[in-house]
């Protein structure tokens, strides 16, 4: 017979179940309520089921154009993802060799992690307003503002995603076997060939993870966007504004759609990582292939 569990086990199990319900219960409630019938409200009980609220999300007939905000956030998230990967991998490679000012540069790069997000947003917004005043003082015709989705908004999001990407690359390269690169150079590989055929195949699953971080952090970023995004809003900003004005379940449908995008990106990244890891276990690294 198995050993009888102590009473504390059941207490802790009930506490954990309550914690999970508290954490995920509201999220699942929103998913269910997003399928309310045409005459349904924001609370239970359900008044039929339908997809009408999902169709209204992209109809553009409400207070704001949710479809346009959704597209803006998606485009910004993809750009942030690509730049986060490129800058993080480049910085990770650069920091492998000591150079003057490396320590100061590292702490400057990750300082935004401990800086309050709203302060970072205010600082970026103020910087671009000063830039606008300077350009206007020069008498440039047609100039309105430098703030925008892919200028100040992009910079604000990168201050949040790049430190995570850099720290991931540091963790990867701290356990990277440099002898593999030495062997490639001994075989006559150029620096680019060494990176392409030796380094990149090994770190590729982690690079996919950095891309996942970059997109998901940008996708739902609110505080850093609030003062630096310019004249247009991202989806989280629109969603925040709608929480005080919308009285129909279309806001729940919007939450369900944004969650679906997040889950899609996460599961896609996990599948790619698993495929790459399985490929490496079956065939080993691509090191040396394609150099001759």
pLDDT profile of the chain (292 residues), mean per 10:
76 92 88 84 80 76 69 92 95 90 89 88 90 85 84 92 92 88 89 89 89 90 87 83 71 84 86 82 57 44
The closest of 69, 63, 50, 59 to 249, measured between CA atoms, is 50
Chain centre distance of CA 193: 30
On whether the CB atoms of residues 226 and 237 are closer than 8 A, the answer is yes
Q: What is residue 62's predicted lDDT score, i.e. its pLDDT?
A: 54
Instruction: Give the angle 214-251-244 at the CA atoms, nearest 5°.
Output: 100
Q: Which residue bears the tokens 């201050």? A: 159
pLDDT at 168: 92
DSSP assignment of 69-136, as one string?
Answer: HHHHHHHHHHHHHHHHHHHHHHHHHHTTS--TTHHHHHHHHHGGGTS-HHHHHHHHHHHHHHHHHHHH
Which residues touch 74 (CB under 8 Å, ≥6 apart)?
219, 261
Task: Tell me the CB-side half-sphere exposure of residue 131, using CA atoms within 13 A.
Answer: 14
CA distances from 38 to 26, 63, 244, 256, 264 (A): 22, 18, 21, 17, 27
The pLDDT score that the predictor gives to residue 17 is 93
Tokens 């750009």 correspond to 79
Provide the token pair at 276: 């790459």
Give the closest residue to 250 by CA, choosing from 72, 60, 73, 77: 60
* Distance separating alpha carbons of residues 15 and 7, to the nearest angstrom: 13
| pTM for this entry | 0.79
Query: Could you tell me how many residues make up the chain?
Result: 292
> Max CA-CA distance within the chain?
88
Asked, as a colleague might, if the bond just before 290 is cis with ω within 30 of 0, I would say no
Q: Can you tell me which residue has the tokens 């169709």? A: 55
The pLDDT value recorded for residue 165 is 93
Residues 34/54, Cβ–Cβ less than 8 Å: yes
Predicted pLDDT of residue 140: 80
Residue 245: what pLDDT? 66
Cα–Cα distance, 279 to 284 (Å, whole number): 7
């Amino acid at each position: 017979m198995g050993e009888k569990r102590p009473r504390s086990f059941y207490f802790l199990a009930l506490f954990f179940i309550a914690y999970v319900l508290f954490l995920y219960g509201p999220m699942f409630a929103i998913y269910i309520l997003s399928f309310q019938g045409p005459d349904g409200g924001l609370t239970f009980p359900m008044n039929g089921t339908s997809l009408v609220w999902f169709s209204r999300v992209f109809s553009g007939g409400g207070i704001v154009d949710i479809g346009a905000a959704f597209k803006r956030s998606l485009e910004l998230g993809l750009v942030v993802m690509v730049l986060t990967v490129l800058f993080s991998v480049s910085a990770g490679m650069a920091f492998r060799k000591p150079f003057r000012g490396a320590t100061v540069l590292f702490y400057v790069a990750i300082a935004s992690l401990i800086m309050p997000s709203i302060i970072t947003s205010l600082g970026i917004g103020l910087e671009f307003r000063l830039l606008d005043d300077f350009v206007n003082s020069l008498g440039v015709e047609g100039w309105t503002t430098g703030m925008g989705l892919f200028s100040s908004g992009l910079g604000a999001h990168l201050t949040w995603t790049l430190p995570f990407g850099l720290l991931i690359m540091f963790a990867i390269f701290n356990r990277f076997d440099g002898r593999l690169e030495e062997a490639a150079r001994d075989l006559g590989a150029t620096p680019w060939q060494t990176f392409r055929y030796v380094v990149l195949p090994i770190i590729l699953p982690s690079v996919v993870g950095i891309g996942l971080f970059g997109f998901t952090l940008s996708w739902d970023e609110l505080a850093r966007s609030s003062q630096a995004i310019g004249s247009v809003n991202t989806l989280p900003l629109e969603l925040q504004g709608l929480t005080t004005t919308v009285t129909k379940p279309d806001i729940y449908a919007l939450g369900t759609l944004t969650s679906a995008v997040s889950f899609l990106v996460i599961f896609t990244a996990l599948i790619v990582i698993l495929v790459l890891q399985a490929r490496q276990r079956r065939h080993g690294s691509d090191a040396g292939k394609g150099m001759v």
